[in-house]
A and B are shown apart, each in its own frame.
Chain A
Amino acid sequence: MASLDPRIRRAEPELWQLPERPLQPLEHWQTYEVFTLRTRGGHAQHVGSLHAPDDEMALVLAKEQFARRSPCVAIWVVPTSAILWTRPEDEDLFQPATDKSYREPQGYLHTRERLEKYRDRLKPIDP
């Protein structure tokens, strides 16, 4: 059957061949990470990554890719290479090395107990 695809019906035989040189690294450009704001006043949230040749094109492509349907009022893009990140295996970095209850509300659970215990001391101080 003759093809229904106009590209194929017009196609020259060389189109059926593999390109002589396979795609080289970076022919599909570098990566960007994309963040969107769903509403004004919210936090920007990471939604994914894409390939783009430069910053401006990254914004254009990010709009097509991530803001076509979902609610979105603003987009941020940043080259992936510009992001510094900690490794998941280093997550203990975020655990306090010593008891740091003094900086948590839970570190102050016994105030009322002391108040009750020494209630008799709460007389007005005579001058």
Chain B
Amino acid sequence: MYGNLTLRPEDIENWGKKVHEEDPEKLAEFEARIARGEKIEPQDWMPFEYRRQLIRLIEQHAHSEIIGALPEGTWITRAPNFRRKLALMAKVQDEVGHAQLLYSAAETLGKSREAMINDLLSGKSKYSNIFNYPAKTWADTAIIAWLVDAGAIINQTTNSKGSYGPYVRALERICWEESFHLKYGYDSVVYLATGTPRQRAMLQDALNRWWKPIMHFFGPPDNQSVHTEKLLKWKVKLATNDEMRQQFLDMYVPKIWELGLSIPDPNLRKNPETGRWEYSDPDWDEFWRVINGDGPCNKERLAVRRFAEERGRWVREALRSPQARYVTPLA
């Protein structure tokens, strides 16, 4: 589960400063290949900035998968029945498996898995902001599995048309598994929505709390800069954040309304003239504040990861073979 690649102001600032001189002939050939719809493979020539942005994108995506398993994972012990517990365990296992696929894809670009985990633990690398919010009730897990995974599918399906071969292949496998998450999530939501008044109230409460993070999910509106243009041209980014947010609203607002739930935004409506959704400003200040560490669960999420790495360390060390040799994955 992952939102979209978000360009932070400092990325844009640094872009021009550390211009990497590229061979114009190779660059033209590279861009022509992408324009023809060819995939770029790990051993191919690629511009420095393409490699850098892809590592950042795929690494963030991988971190989002393992951190994303935490809010739902806390509910495994308290699932309402055995079937729901099994389904939730399967889903959480999927998310961790997705992280494995994505770390491998990022490694093909030259950053080791250990380096990526170190950057996650130190806070240098980011993950999807939405996982810095708590899952307070069982209904939260239903909303996450339905709507957050729906957002992730839109994002991942879009990215799976990208130019980097290993990432595209990982995403194809991931999207296929996520389709179970969406069905499972929708089933859980419908079950609560058709339940007792208390169950309905719990579901509405969860939706109220998750709506803002869901609106943040695809990232702030892209500034129309040459950098965004270049990422679109290189097929690192395939759609702007707003395009994906509109697609999400188109697909899911009617389904939410169908359940008799209300969306906590009085200004939300589809403008019949423009065909676009209008909504209240979802408080981008909060988005940046939480990304930069000041969210309800940032510390806790990293603490659990640090706990897992540190407490698992001796086991990994005991299993490790002295003859082991690291080789970058091939494809």
The residues of A with any CB-CB pair to B shorter than 8 Å are 1, 3-8, 11, 15-19, 22-31, 33, 46-51, 53-54, 57, 64-65, 68-70, 79-81, 83, 85, 87-89
Q: Tell whether B273 is near chain A: CB-to-CB under 8 Å.
A: no
Per a CB cutoff under 8 Å, which of A11, A64, A80 touches B329? A80
Q: Is the CB of B320 within 8 A of A81?
A: no
Given known pairs A11-B307, A25-B114, A28-B316, the reply for A6 and B74 (CB within 8 Å) is: yes
- A53 lies within 8 A of B321 (CB): yes
Q: Determine whether the beta carbon of B306 is less than 8 Å from that of A81.
A: no
Cross-interface CB contact of B114 among A4, A11, A27, cutoff 8 Å:
A27
Contact yes or no, A88 B101, CB < 8 A: no
Query: In the bound complex, do residue A30 and residue B100 qualify as a contact, i.e. CB atoms below 8 Å apart?
Result: no
Query: Is B134 a contact of A81 with CB atoms below 8 Å?
Result: no
CA distance A51 to B114 in the complex (A): 11
Chain B residues 102-155 with CB under 8 Å of chain A are: 104, 107, 112-115, 117-118, 121-122, 134-136
Given the known interface contacts A8-B300, A69-B177, A88-B41, the answer about A1 and B134 at a Cβ–Cβ threshold of 8 Å is: yes
Check B325 against A7 for contact (C-beta < 8 Å).
Answer: no
Contact: A26 with B326, CB < 8 Å?
yes
When chains A and B are docked, how far (Å) is the Cα of A70 from the Cα of B97?
Answer: 14
Check A3–B300 contact: CB distance below 8 A.
Answer: yes
Given A3-B300, A68-B97, 10 new contacts (CB under 8 A): A4-B74, A15-B303, A30-B325, A31-B328, A33-B329, A47-B173, A48-B169, A51-B100, A53-B316, A80-B328
A54 and B319 within 8 A (CB): yes
CA distance A93 to B246 in the complex (A): 48
Least distance between A32 CB and chain B CB atoms (Å)? 9
Chain A's closest residue to B98 (CB) is: A65
